[in-house]
Each structure stands twice: as C-alpha cells, then as structure tokens.
Amino acid sequence: MNNPFETISQRLSNIENLLLEIKHKPIEEEKSENLTVKETAEVLKVSEQSVHNYIKRGFISAQKVGRILLIKREDLDNALTEVKSLKYKRA
C-alpha cells in the first residue's frame, strides 16, 4: 500500500508546477477588433455623446454598419497617440 503522505506530496508538487506555469504564462487580453460607441466611451472614460462628437470632428474614425457605429481599436489607439504627441508639439 502506498504511503498517503507521498501521494499528497506528489499531488501538491503537481499543483505547484501548474501554478508556476500559469504565473509565468503571458496574459493576453482578448481585445475585440471593433468597438461600439458605448465600449469606446467606457475605454476613454467619457460619455457616449463625447464619442459621437469626436467622430463628427474627425478625431476618431468610425464606420457605420446598419445603425451601429463601429470604431476599430487600432484607429482608437492611433488617435490617442496623435493627441499625446500634439500635446508636446505645442511649445
């Protein structure tokens, strides 16, 4: 008959190895390709009306699919980097 403490020790070491694998595995957030106006407002922490105003002024590009405006995450990131760079160019 197997020693129960050896079995427990073996299981604990397996669990420890699994936890270490999870810890060292890079976390990749699943980002959707397109964002709605509501999701964009949540990302930017502004109102939905502000997002609509940014689209009208041309700060953020959007495509209309039916009645829904979709904003590509890449376009949003590019718009944010342009705003940051403009901040430092105004001297």
- Write the pLDDT tens digit of every residue in 14-66: 999 988 888 777 665 556 689 999 999 999 999 999 999 999 998 899 999 99
Residues whose CB is less than 8 angstroms from the CB of residue 34 and which lie 6 or more positions away in sequence, other chains included? 70, 71, 72, 73
- pTM (2 d.p.): 0.57
Determine the CATH number of domain 34-89. 1.10.1660
Helix (H, G, I), strand (E, B) or coil at 84: helix
Q: What is the DSSP letter of 63?
A: E
Number of residues that make up the chain: 91
